[in-house]
Amino acid sequence: MSDVKKNILTRVLMAVVALPVYVFTIVTDIAYSTPILACSLIITLACLYEYYQITDRGGDERAFFKTGMLFAVAINVMMYLFAYGDRYGYGEYLPSFDARVVLGLIALLLAVVLALQLFTRGIRGASYSLGVTLFGLAYIVFSFSHIIAMKALTDGVFYIIILNVVVMLNDTMALFGGVLFGRHKTNFPVSPNKSWEGYLSGLLFSIVAMVVTNQIYISFFDRALFGMLEAVLLGVALSVLGNLGDLAESAVKRDGAIKDSGSIIPGHGGMWDVFDALIYTYPLFYYYLVLKGVA
């Protein structure tokens, strides 16, 4: 068996084991809906850890690891309180939860990171350390933690599932399409070996997945989430955004001269390798739903 086929088989077997656990945290509301918080915490902390490891250049050119991980927990908890405060009565402990709470957390984060830079490290590498620490929290943790806010929306479970189906199928079929039909390389600096055939395969299956899943919701669950044209356009948009998320991770890995973000998931690499596309799509899809009027 070739290495490519072995890798694909390992990916499939790992998905069979891990996917049910992931789905369970999405669909269940036991224990005050804390499984979705646990899911976001595990994924964002693992991805942030990998990101900080990749960007560690030694000496003072590295992220403020402990501070970053601590604020990652705080961001997830903040998102959970925002999403479920009214439903479970957390409002009495955190009244008037609005934009000022978010801004307050950002101000505190900046103050802590700046103080650490000023009093614990030298001048050299200051911009790099500050940028790496803050970008990891903003891009990875803040973005993916929107899974919590999306779960709290009306029919939130259905939206999360359709997003995951579309993005994951886009990623999977881009891989298969590239392996089977790839002839014309994109020559993107961050990922020159990806092929246009692979991206086209992912795009087509992304559209099909969005339309079919939406029709399943209509036929079997009486949930008309999107119109036909809207579903097609969303399939295109999510495919493009998912690919951008993949390329963003590739850029960081190429800068760090590594192939995978980690080895925690056999056949897939690191946690960030698995969720790179979803990290980019969760917040954008969530705010699209908010603008659409879903509450």
Q: How confident is the model over 264-283, as pLDDT tens digits?
A: 666 567 889 889 999 989 99
| Model confidence band, residue 28 (pLDDT cutoffs 50, 70, 90) | very high
Q: What is the pLDDT of residues 143-156, one digit of tens each?
A: 999 999 999 999 99
Please count the other Cβ atoms lying within 10 Å of the Cβ belonging to residue 193: 11
> Would you state the pLDDT for residue 10?
65
Q: What is the pLDDT of residues 232-259, one digit of tens each?
A: 999 999 999 999 998 898 888 888 878 7
DSSP alpha helix (H) spans, 55-195: 65-88, 99-120, 126-136, 143-144, 146-151, 156-181
Percentage of the chain beyond pLDDT 70 is: 89
> Would you state the pLDDT for residue 262?
67
**Is the separation of the CB atoms in 254 and 190 below 8 Å?**
yes
Please name the helix (run of DSSP H) or strand (run of DSSP E) that holds residue 215, with its range, or none.
Answer: helix 196-221
How many whole angstroms separate alpha carbon 136 and alpha carbon 134? 5
Q: What is the pLDDT of residues 195-215, one digit of tens each?
A: 888 889 999 999 999 999 999
Residue 7 has what DSSP assignment?
A: H
Q: What pairs with residue 185 in β-bridges? A: 195
Phi/psi at 191 (5° precision): -155, 70
Single-letter code of the amino acid located at 126: A
- Of 133-147, 150-164, 167-181, least confident by mean pLDDT is 167-181
- Find, among 295, 284, 285, 283, the residue nearest to 40 by Cα: 283
Q: What is the pLDDT of residues 88-142, one digit of tens each?
A: 877 666 655 566 777 788 889 989 999 999 999 888 889 999 999 999 999 999 9
How many whole angstroms separate alpha carbon 101 and alpha carbon 142? 14
In Å, the largest CA–CA distance within the chain is 62
- Classify residue 271 by burial, with Cβ atoms within 10 Å: 0-12, 13-18, 19+: buried
> Would you state the pLDDT for residue 197?
87
Coil vs helix vs strand at 97: coil
Question: Token pair of 18, please?
Answer: 């891990």
How many whole angstroms separate alpha carbon 62 and alpha carbon 64? 7
Q: DSSP for 219-241, please give it.
A: HHH----S-HHHHHHHHHHHHHH
Report residue 110 CA to chain centroid gap.
23
